């Protein structure tokens, strides 16, 4: 085939960025024993967070998208992690893991636990190669610094935060000076845009959603991925049938039921998320083939409960207004939980 005959893939219109541990995978690493157990697990022994794989598959089914995974897991786990994703039917375009062996050899001990100096440059380098008009949705968790890093990344690309402030934040986060230089250089090369539409934080540690209020309405803390699917439907990323597939996966494989799922929608409405209207769309999606109705046997009751609960709530709370984030004052959110300077949440 000649070069003129080559058909290049269309540039992605949407980029979905995911963390792995505690965001996609149910991982425990708070103790040395848990770290060793996690490192020794084979692909089939690793468990995905309920609904995560189903949600990714539905987002990818729409085409014109790119899945980028950035994880603090060591590079030595790449083969087993890639195999796990394949077992779950998840196809990724980019998988970046942390080279802690290199950090050890170079004597960069602060970088072993630090996430800002690792994830922020990776995100910026990936964005530098993305189409300027590609929108992004980011997925992380409350175990480390994802809320802080993702928000800072979004505001850096949009130029809502100044260069001196970024430099101060990176220094306060104990990022090595040469890494700071690289961050600033890559950032300068990225065209100004405002691509990050949503940031989802999986509340693995059951942190209260109110703890993330300072990050504004762009960031949505979630207790499960059905909540993420509801918001993404309201945002136009998923259709009602796709949300039902995520729901079915969680009912059939993770033991979710009428009570947990209806409470999930109620929780979002109470927090002011504009998703009350999705209940009607889900109800209409059930008027399909009989096979679909059989597959989601409990769903009609769930939808009925949704409608009643949404009506009983009345007017939802008004979401917090968008405002500038004071990243220096929020730096505790970027520190490892074991850091002596981090306040107890």
Average pLDDT, the chain: 83
| pLDDT score, position 189 | 96
If you average pLDDT over residues 234-254, what whole number do you get? 89
**Kind and range of the H or E run holding 304:** helix 299-313
CA 184 to chain centre: 24
Q: Who contacts 117 (Cβ-Cβ below 8 Å, separation ≥6)?
A: 110, 111, 170, 173, 174, 175, 176, 179
pLDDT at 115 over 50: yes
pLDDT band at 108 (very low <50, low <70, confident <90, very high): low
Give the pLDDT confidence of 19-77 residue by residue, as tens digits. 999 999 997 655 556 555 656 678 888 999 999 999 999 999 988 999 999 998 888 89
| pLDDT score, position 293 | 47
Give the pLDDT confidence of 263-312 residue by residue, as tens digits. 888 899 888 887 877 877 777 776 655 434 454 555 556 556 655 655 55
pLDDT band at 247 (very low <50, low <70, confident <90, very high): confident
Q: Which residues pair with 114 in a beta bridge?
A: none
Query: Residue 227 half-sphere exposure, CB side, CA atoms within 13 Å?
Result: 25
Measured distance CA(238)–CA(236) in Å, rounded = 6
Least confident stretch, 82-96, 109-123, 173-187 = 109-123
Domains observed in the chain: 13-220+325-334 (3.40.50), 238-313 (no CATH)
Q: DSSP E strands: which ranges in 51-125?
A: 65-74, 94-98
| Other Cβ atoms closer than 10 A to 6 | 7
3-state secondary structure of 191: coil
Nearest-Å Rg of the Cα atoms of the chain is 21
Measured distance CA(103)–CA(305) in Å, rounded = 52
Q: Which of 238, 295, 234, 291 is nearest to 61 (CA)?
A: 238
In the structure encoding, which two tokens stand for residue 66, read together? Answer: 């790119």
pLDDT at 316 over 60: no
Cα-Cα end-to-end distance for the chain: 60
pLDDT at 82 over 80: yes
If you average pLDDT over residues 207-232, what whole number do you get? 94
How much of the chain, in percent, has pLDDT values that exceed 70? 77
If you average pLDDT over residues 215-232, what whole number do you get? 95
pLDDT at 190 over 90: yes
Q: Which residues pair with 48 in a beta bridge?
A: 25
If you average pLDDT over residues 90-110, what whole number do you get? 81
Measured distance CA(329)–CA(92) in Å, rounded = 35
pLDDT at 237 over 70: yes
| pLDDT score, position 38 | 58
């Amino acid at each position: 085939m000649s070069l003129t005959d080559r058909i290049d893939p269309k540039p992605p219109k949407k980029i979905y960025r995911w963390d792995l541990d505690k965001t996609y995978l149910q991982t425990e690493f708070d103790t040395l024993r848990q770290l060793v157990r996690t490192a020794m697990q084979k692909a089939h022994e690793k468990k995905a967070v309920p609904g995560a794989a189903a949600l990714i598959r539905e987002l990818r089914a729409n085409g014109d998208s790119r899945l980028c995974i950035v994880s603090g897991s060591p590079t030595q786990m790449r083969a087993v992690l890639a195999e796990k994703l394949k077992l779950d039917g998840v196809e990724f375009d980019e998988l970046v893991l942390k080279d802690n062996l290199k950090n050890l050899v170079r004597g960069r001990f602060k970088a072993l636990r630090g996430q800002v100096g690792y994830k922020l440059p990776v995100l910026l380098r990936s964005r530098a190669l993305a189409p300027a008009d590609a929108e992004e949705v980011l997925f992380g968790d409350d175990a480390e610094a994802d809320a802080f890093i993702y928000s800072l990344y979004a505001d850096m690309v949009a130029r809502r935060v100044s260069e001196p402030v970024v430099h101060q934040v990176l220094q306060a986060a104990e990022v090595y000076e040469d890494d700071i230089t690289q961050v600033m250089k890559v950032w300068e090369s990225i065209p100004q845009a405002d691509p990050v539409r949503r940031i989802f934080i999986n509340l693995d540690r059951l942190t209260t959603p109110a703890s993330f209020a300072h990050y504004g309405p762009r960031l949505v803390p979630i207790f499960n991925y059905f909540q993420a699917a509801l918001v993404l439907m309201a945002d136009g990323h998923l259709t009602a049938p796709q949300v039902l597939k995520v729901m079915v996966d969680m009912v059939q494989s993770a033991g979710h039921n009428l009570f947990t799922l209806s409470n999930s929608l109620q929780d979002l409405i109470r927090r002011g998320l504009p998703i009350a209207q999705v209940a009607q769309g889900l109800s209409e999606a059930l008027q399909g083939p009989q096979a679909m109705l059989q597959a989601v046997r409990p769903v009609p009751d769930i939808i009925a409960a949704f409608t009643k609960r949404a009506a009983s709530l009345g007017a939802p709370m008004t979401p917090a207004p968008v405002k500038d984030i004071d990243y220096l004052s929020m730096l505790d959110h970027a520190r490892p939980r074991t850091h002596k300077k981090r306040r107890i949440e």
